[in-house]
Chain A
Amino acid sequence: MSFLNPLFLLGLAALSVPVIVHLVRRTKAPRVEFPSLMFVRRVPQRTIRKRRLQNLLLLALRSLAFMLLVLSFARPYFGSGATQKSGELANIIMLDNSMSMRYGNRFEQAKARARSIIDQTGGQEKTALITFGQSYDVQHRFTTDTNQIKSVLGGLQPGWGATDYAQALRGASELFKEAGTKEQRIFLISDFQQTGKNPGESAFRLSKDVKLVPIDLGEQNSPNLTISGAGVQPLIYQPKYTDRLTAQIANFSDEAKTGVKVEFLLNDRSIQRNEIKIAPHEATTVEFTGFNLNEGANRGVIQIEGDNFPVDNRYFITLRRTEQMKALAIDSATRGRSESFYLRNALTTGENLPFKLEIKSPATISPYELSQYRVIIINDAGGINQALAQQLIKFVEGGGGLIISTGPHTEEAAFNQAFEKAAPARLEDTVQLRGDYVVMSEIKTDHPIFEVFKQSGRLSAARVFGYHRVTPRPEASVLARFEDGNPALIESSHGSGRILLFTSTLDASWNDLPLTPIYLPLVRQMARHLGEREERATHPQGQTFVVPAAKDGTPPAVDAPNGERITERKETATGELIINAREPGFYRLRYPEISDYAAVNLDSKESDLSKLNLDEFVTAVTGADPKTVSALAADEKLGKEEIESRQRTWWILLIVALLLFVAEAVLARRTKMSRVIG
């Protein structure tokens, strides 16, 4: 027998009060003088004994009635039959510690449930404890020591990750192998989010020996607002942020939310504040722009107000303001006029330009100045001598990016000779379609260059009239082909740098690409891909990210968002520090001279608190008949409140106590009457 409100049992101590009082007062009855005991002694003893007996009966009745009253308040219940079986039974308590368990006091409830399950096992059954979110952790392997496992349980805190039931259940099945028992039982304590079902794991099923007892702590309707993502340009080359910084505010509830305040803070200062309305189960985009940035890393926070789950109401981004990189375009400068007209316009028009472009002819280039550039574009430049070619290859080996565009001025033999070791492909011959054209197809849209074109599909808008037929090197990668199958864009790496080879021209001589809307983004993407270092405004929680080492090669000291110094030091082969993004917020990277930041955000999937169909879930995982599942779960998934509520033992106890009180009253009255009559 267990109790729902065991603290009420303290009331049983009150039962001893009348007895103690009786004993104390009997032994310490006040001494009182009386003129004569002559008549006191004459009172017949027999009557006293009889009354003593009656009083004892009254005391017993009262004590029993009070005891039952106290017990009824303590709400007793009897554990289900299954829980009382002992011996060859192993339990795994799976405690969901994903971010959603921070909702309300779910996690504390979950711990309380786990504790009561441990108590029910009574130290006779082997019990293990697993916490899970995106991944799972075995907190305690099988033991019968309830104190030990409860001690581990007591120290648990909710995590920040998303939920993945299948992976966690898979882990539990593995753990059962250690138990070696015939009967196995999993207590799955969770809020049972719909998003926790991993579609990729739909085939996973627990063994038939394993009984799954789901303990559901989630409310049917848990409204929540969150910032599901942000569109941000993380690298800025000018003081002002002129792009659109967008934030998606999602409403995971059945009701529209009005007056939701959205605020953007930059380096802890409020920049902009909006008030929005969001329809149920929809997202609204909020834009921020036109704010100034400090040199270096800037911390941006988008936050919302207006719901009762503030944990996921902040979204962290880093905006880095840096100097423009230098790019060099080399063209033939035929008749003294640059042929990079379109290229120059594409790379120098607009705001927030990453590159500062210089255009030179091969003859005017000093080989020693190449190292100052991040990207060099050979725009159908003839006359590149061997020495320059060597310097260019050296430039690429040192980490530079080289874009080569071939055209009428490119001589195949000279090119092949000059870039034999480095070029992504060997030039064969020129293809002139004379009145006909081909378009680009077979595009690797998952490549960073073509990511922006993924949705539009407009790359095929450009018509190509002439190109170089090439033979790609084995290690090179063809990113795009013409519709006749010939490579259009090939990428290869050389040393620390990379080379892109476009087999047609970047001006209008062999195609009409510069005249189409895709020219500018394509050229910029190519240049950025090669020249711009990868920069992310935010990292997902639960994954790792790398931060570069300082100039002297030492990795920075890193402070987690909670202010604690991260002592775990894992480095890549190139000396970059690997950081495990455990919690949302800003990780502070302390370099010798400056401080940098990396932002980490929660998986917005976890913010959707809508519940899955429990019956379906259990059926899918265990393969049991839904009705059987319901029947089994109905008894065992019950928390102690439900078990107690079903048994209603307190009600019986209360009635018996009341009956005893009535009996006591009758007896007391009879005793009193007999005294009066006597």
Chain B
Amino acid sequence: MKLSNQESAMSMRFLAPEVLARISSLDLLARTVVEGFISGLHRSPFTGFSTEFAEYRQYMPGDDLRYLDWKLLGRTDRYYIKKYRADTNSQCHILIDASASMRYTTGEVTKLQYAQFLGSSLAYLANKQQDAVGLIAFDEKVRTHVPAHNRIGHMRTIFGHMEQLEPGNETRLSEVLHQAAERITRRGIIIVISDFYDDTEAITGALQHLRFKGNDVIVFHVLDKNELEFDFNEPVLLEDCETEEQIHVMPDILAEGYRHTIRDHIERLRDSAVRNKIDYELLTTDKPLDYALFSFLARRAKNI
């Protein structure tokens, strides 16, 4: 479907030029065996359909005879398999939490908007590196699934879907991540952007599932500043965005306990991420997006 100019302009609005300028100055390198983001800098460990010669290996029974170097066999009577190294394009899936809790804000940008900015920035970046980009948006179930492709115009589809995301219902994050792990058949990079309101053990299990499937998992934990600080000056009646449950709260009594609890949750998430070789980044919506990306990518580059 061809988008009008206006729609096109709207779709592109997440890509702030200064964000892209920052990110372009970095070399994004894949950390593990997964295909790199940028074609040419990283070589795929898979021999495949490319034409560039890699090495020879002695034939072993069971090898595909298609790759046997017949010329060498003719000259030397030795069976060697010719291995090629191709410039492969990896898959990058962006998983955005579009549950009701993501509509929360105390500033101008809701968590969902921030997730949209972040997701589109990363999608663009991946696309620029010739990677196939896919999108999964979810709340209690997967609501949008755009499979990863690398064809021309796919990015517009991604952006179009991302643009239309609205805060939905309750989150069942771990369930949905399990579903996503099953849906993504090809290994690649999985970027999860969520506020992670779920049990830490369940989340860890789901992330392990993704990791187990051979994916490089990057987690962006997006929170509003007030979710960390619990800064209320007066007693309030708090209403849960998702369940609409209400509770009277005396901030001066509760704040310290709340902060302690949520910090504990974050630390446990961070620990489990480290243990499972998952990149974890905590972002608050008041942080400039480019700064958040920059610091994350810089750290990721350093670790490689």
Contacts and interface: CB of A to CB of B under 8 A. Distances in A.
B108 interface: no
Contacts of A31: 236-237, 239, 246
Interface residues of B, number: 34
B265 interface: yes
A461 to B, nearest CB: 107
B254 A36 contact: no
B9 interface: no
B241 A51 contact: no
B10 interface: no
A34 interface: yes
A40 B235 contact: no
Contacts of A32: 232, 236-239
A36 B197 contact: yes
Contacts of A434: none
Contacts of A30: 234, 236-237
Contacts of B238: 32-34, 37, 40
B60 interface: no
A594 interface: no
Nearest to A38: B197
A579 B13 CA distance: 105
B111 to A, nearest CB: 7
Interface stretch (B136-144, B185-193, B255-263): B255-263
Interface string B120-147: 0000000000000000000000000000
Contacts of A368: none
Interface in A592-641: none
Interface in B213-235: 224, 227, 232, 234-235
A203 interface: no
A678 B242 CA distance: 30
Given A37-B245, A38-B197, A29 B261 contact: no
A269 interface: no
A48 B254 contact: yes
Contact of A35 (B195, B235, B252, B257): B195
A675 interface: yes
**Chain B interface, >50% SS class:** mixed
A48 B101 contact: no
B265 A34 contact: no
A52 interface: yes
Interface residues on A, range: 20 to 34
A270 interface: no
A25 B235 contact: yes
**Which residue among B111, B237, B247, B254 has the maximum number of chain A CB atoms within 10 Å of its CB?**
B237
A47 B248 CA distance: 15
A200 interface: no
A48 B257 CA distance: 9
A13 interface: no
A676 B257 CA distance: 10
B202 interface: no
Contacts of A34: 104, 238-241
A41 interface: yes
A337 interface: no
A40 B258 contact: yes
B253 A52 contact: yes
B16 interface: no
Contacts of B41: none
A39 B265 contact: yes
Contacts of B258: 39-40, 43
A569 interface: no
A43 to B, nearest CB: 3
Contact of A29 (B111, B248, B253, B254): B248
A42 interface: yes
A30 B254 CA distance: 16
A521 B240 CA distance: 118
Interface in A619-678: 675-676, 678
A335 interface: no
A32 B233 CA distance: 12
Contacts of A81: none
A37 B235 CA distance: 15
A33 B232 CA distance: 12
A35 B197 contact: yes
Contacts of B33: none
B227 A35 contact: yes
Contact of A51 (B235, B239, B240, B253): B253
B26 interface: no
Contacts of B240: 34-37
B254 A40 contact: yes
Nearest to A34: B238
Interface string B256-287: 11100110010000000000000000000000
A36 B173 CA distance: 13
A442 B4 CA distance: 143
A44 interface: yes
A78 B148 CA distance: 91
Nearest to A675: B256
Nearest to A39: B261
A194 B24 CA distance: 108
A32 B224 CA distance: 14
B301 interface: no
Contacts of B197: 35-36, 38
Contacts of A26: 235, 248
A42 B241 contact: no
Nearest to B259: A39
B249 interface: yes
A70 to B, nearest CB: 26
Interface in A226-260: none
Contacts of A25: 234-235
B54 interface: no
B72 interface: no
**Which residue among A36, A39, A42 has the maximum number of chain B CB atoms within 10 Å of its CB?**
A36
Nearest to A26: B235
B247 A41 contact: yes
A51 B253 CA distance: 7
Interface string B49-93: 000000000000000000000000000000000000000000000
Contacts of B102: 35
A292 B38 CA distance: 128
Nearest to A678: B256
A48 B253 CA distance: 6
A459 to B, nearest CB: 104
Nearest to B171: A36
Contacts of B227: 35
Contact of A42 (B234, B236, B261): B261
Contacts of A33: 104, 238-239, 241
Contact of B262 (A39, A41, A55): A39
B101 A29 contact: no
Contact of B250 (A36, A37, A39, A48): A48
A20 to B, nearest CB: 14
A35 B101 contact: yes
B239 A29 contact: no
B251 to A, nearest CB: 10
Nearest to A25: B235
A32 B236 CA distance: 7
Nearest to B101: A35
A48 B242 CA distance: 25
A42 B256 CA distance: 12
Given A40-B249, A48-B250, 15 more contacts: A29-B237, A32-B239, A33-B104, A35-B102, A35-B111, A36-B197, A36-B240, A36-B242, A37-B240, A37-B243, A41-B247, A43-B261, A47-B257, A51-B253, A675-B256
Interface of B: 101-102, 104, 111, 195, 197, 224, 227, 232, 234-243, 245-250, 252-254, 256-258, 261-262, 265
Query: When A and B form their complex, which 7 residue pairs have the shortest distance between CB atoms, in order from nearest?
Result: A43-B257, A35-B101, A35-B104, A36-B197, A39-B261, A34-B238, A37-B240
21 contacts: A29-B237, A29-B248, A31-B236, A31-B239, A34-B238, A34-B239, A35-B104, A35-B240, A36-B242, A37-B247, A39-B258, A39-B265, A40-B247, A40-B258, A43-B257, A43-B261, A44-B257, A47-B257, A48-B254, A51-B252, A675-B252
